[in-house]
Each structure stands twice: as structure tokens, then as C-alpha cells.
Amino acid sequence: MHLNIHPIKTPVVFSLLLTVMLTVGCGGSQRQEQVTDTVVDDYGRTVVVPAHPQRVVSLSPAVTEIMYALGAQDILVGRTDFCEYPPEAQSIPSIGGISNLNIESILSLNPDLVISGSMVGKKITDQMDAMGTPMVCVIEKPRFEALYDNIRAIGRLVGKETEADSLNATLRRKATSLGEARTSAASCYYVVGFGPSGNFTAGGNTFINDIIRMAGGRNIAEGVEGWSYSLEALMKENPDYIIVRREDSAAFCDMKPYNTLRAVRDGHVIGIVSGTFDLQVPRNIDAILYLRQRFKQ
């Protein structure tokens, strides 16, 4: 069993202010192509970044997936071990893990921009800045709607603003086409972590909670902030459905006392593809549709 906890931090408005550089040539004042942008990232840090980056390292599976969705993979020169989607991303050199970032490995790729996510702390981003490599943090945020903001922010960082607007428009159409979910009495519990190390789930202040609601379910942990959830509360609520990563499904169903839950006994354990549900990415729309279909069974 492994435990993946994605902390949600208080979002800071991500804004991009265009800086146009002017120089004076032999013949007088001459306007040159913009060379830098000034970014205020999700940690509130002001960072000067290249307007047209050519070598980007992603330290977030969500950032990597969005870059591919925007067609910006040609400038992606580095990723983490956890950046596995789309499968083509696995051909990009990896700098290793996220919690134990190797700054030397990042710098060896000679990036002109590094984009990080929720699992990279402000201390690391400041260290990268001090070494002369701009690093911008785009974190996962509590509300589903923030997905569109993150796509827009990453699009502007990598020079794909038009593509970002187009992708957002497509995703919004898909979300609208799903319509409002019928009110469902189906109670749900999402398994983030389980076993002797404790029980962890997505509380009401997460985009995951929004996905469950949009799919027509009711998150039994919606009244909880954060990720920790007691075993006693889980057994008492005894939800109709369990949502768990597919690779963890068998272990969860076989372990006591989880194997006595109604959802396990009734065959209502929904194994979901990693990344579609626990990352704030375009595939969240697929997760909503998939859950709706399963809730009807």
C-alpha cells in the first residue's frame, strides 16, 4: 500500500503582466520583440520569466499533462518520475522524485523555465531563483473551476495562450453537455490512503469533492477540511460506493475491516485510473462521466 496525499494550499491569484523591453539603436529608439514576462505565481512570488521559453522542466504531473494537451511538449526537456501521462511523456528525461528534488539534475538540463506544482515548497522555488533559473508554481486549487485558470496560466507561460483558450472552451462544452447531475442518495468515500498508517480522503475543500458532486454522488467527508479521516467515521457512515485507485482496489477490498463495508460487499468499489481524479487536469471531465455511469449501476 502506498500513500499519496496532495495538499491543497490557499490559492493566490495567478496573474501575468507583460513586460515589453525597449532599446535604443543607432538610428534612434527601436521596439524589439518582447523577451520577458513578469509573473506573480501561486506563492505570491514575482518572477521574471522568458516570454518564449525553449527549455521547460515540469515538476508536476498536472503541469506535464496540461503542456501536452496544449501541444507544448516540444519544449519540455525534463519531468519527474510521477509525470507518466500521456505515455509519450515517459520518453522525456526524468530528474527523479518530487519530495526529494535534485536541484543539480534540474540544472543539468539547462532549463530557461521550471514550472512546479503543489508538492514543491516555496523554499525550493526560492533556491532555484537564487541560482538564476526562474521557477513558477501553479498549484492545484480547491474548486473544480480553477482547472480552467491553471490551463490558462500554463498556456501563457509556455506561449500557448490561444491553445489554452481553445482547450478551455472544449472542456467547458463537455462539462455543459453533461448537464446537472440528478440528486443522488449515493454516498461515496474516496480512498487516498488506508491501513495502519491512517485513513486519508478528500474533504469538502477540494476539487475532488466537486468532481464527486458533479458526478451525482455525496462525499461522506464533505464536512471535513483537509485529508485525514477517522476509521470510526468511515465504518459508521458505511458509504454506498468506494472510489479508489485501480492499483489499490484489491488490497483495500481484502483488508480488514474495510472488507466489511457495504460498498465492498455489494461490489460497489469503483477503481479509477490514477491521474483522472487526483490531479487537476483535463481528464477530470472523463472522471465525472465515468463516475456517473458507475453510480447508475
pLDDT tens for residues 105-159?
999 999 999 999 988 887 888 888 788 899 999 999 999 999 999 999 999 999 9
Residues of the chain with pLDDT under 70: 1-34, 180-185, 297
- H helices then E strands: how many in the chain? 10, 13
Task: Please state the domain extents for the chain.
Answer: 15-175, 187-295
What per-residue confidence (pLDDT) applies to 270? Answer: 97
For the domain spanning 15-175, the CATH number is 3.40.50.1980
CA distance 59 to 275: 15
The predicted model scores a pTM of 0.85
Contacts 24+ apart (CB under 8 A), 120-127: 120/59, 120/60, 122/43, 122/45, 125/41, 125/43, 125/45, 126/45, 127/103
What per-residue confidence (pLDDT) applies to 189? Answer: 98
CA distance 285 to 110: 35
User: At the top level of CATH, which class does the domain 187-295 belong to?
Assistant: alpha beta
Asked whether the domain spanning 187-295 has the same topology as the one spanning 15-175, the reply is yes
What per-residue confidence (pLDDT) applies to 289? Answer: 93
- What is the SS3 assignment for 136? strand
Cβ 189 vs Cβ 239: under 8 Å: yes
What per-residue confidence (pLDDT) applies to 77? Answer: 98
Model confidence pLDDT, tens digit, residues 68-84: 999 999 999 999 999 99
What per-residue confidence (pLDDT) applies to 185? Answer: 66
What per-residue confidence (pLDDT) applies to 27? Answer: 38
CA distance 34 to 19: 7
Closest listed residue to residue 215, CA positions, set 289, 265, 114, 109: 289
